Amino acid sequence: MKQATKQASLFREIIVDNFAGGGGASTGISLAIGRSVDIAINHDPAAIAMHKVNHPDTEHYCESVWDIDPRIVTGGRQVALCWFSPDCKHFSKAKGGKPVEKKIRGLAWVAVRWAAT
């Protein structure tokens, strides 16, 4: 029975949280669908450490979203939801002032990369 469950999970569509942070978006997704996200990605060790505490059943990658190959981390499994919450405070008015750093705008392009891959 346990082997059958393991095999079924190999064919289940997965959920990936890019820019995972401490796990707020993952918590919302989990509450909405009734299970943990499968993969969380963030470059910050402190953020990944917090995410691991909040979501111990998730597979964690402490790497830049640009260094991750979607085909490898998903293991060829279908992705049902890929969540992206790139940092916006340095190029939007969310920080309360003028945009600070324009080059960080490129983070949003990782969503296109995942979709194309």
- Over residues 78-106, the pLDDT tens digits come to 999 999 987 655 555 555 555 555 555 56
- Over residues 57-68, the pLDDT tens digits come to 999 999 999 999
Does position 1 have pLDDT exceeding 50, yes or no? no
Nearest to 42 by CA among 21, 27, 23, 58: 21
**Radius of gyration over every alpha carbon of the chain, rounded to an integer in angstroms:** 15
DSSP-derived secondary structure letter, 93: G
Rounded average pLDDT over 23-30: 94
Query: At 44, is the pLDDT very low, low, confident or very high (cuts 50, 70, 90)?
Result: very high
CB atoms within 10 A of CB 15: 21
Rounded average pLDDT over 26-31: 96
